Amino acid sequence: SYGNIVLNVAEFRRTNLDLRGWLKYMEIYHDRACRHSDIDTVAPIIYPVDESLMGAFTHEIAVAQQLDQMGIPVWLMRPSCDIAPDT
């Protein structure tokens, strides 16, 4: 039916985007992530932000720092009670 075709096309497109994102991560950002895993012995390399990326949301400060150093846009999600009232 037409509805099944629409759902299959949507699923194909979503899977295609997932695969393209994974390939881009493996080609570009995986090496950057590996370099930052040994941060105690090597000074971190901070890459410019790739503004073509949508970015990532995280609650973890360490993840936000790593993504930022890798050049991936990142939004650190914090509860409003953690934000000082004067900011």
pLDDT, tens digit, 9 for 90 and up, residues 15-47 = 999 999 999 999 998 888 887 665 555 677 889
Domain span at 9: 2-82
Flag whether 19 is in a domain: yes
Q: Is residue 87 part of a domain?
A: no
- Does 12 fall in a domain? yes
> In which element (H, E) is residue 57 found?
strand 56-58
Question: How many Å is the Cα radius of gyration of the chain?
Answer: 18
45 assigned to some structural domain: yes
The pLDDT score that the predictor gives to residue 80 is 85
Kind and range of the H or E element at 25?
none
Distant-in-sequence contacts of 29-35, Cβ < 8 A, 24+ apart? 29/70, 29/71, 29/72, 32/69, 32/70, 32/71, 33/66, 33/70
How far apart, in whole angstroms, are the C-alpha atoms of residue 2 and residue 60?
43
Per the structure, how many domains does the chain have? 1
In a domain, 13, yes or no: yes
Residue 64, CA atoms < 13 Å, CB-side half-sphere: 10
Taking 60 as the threshold, does the pLDDT of residue 8 lie above it? yes
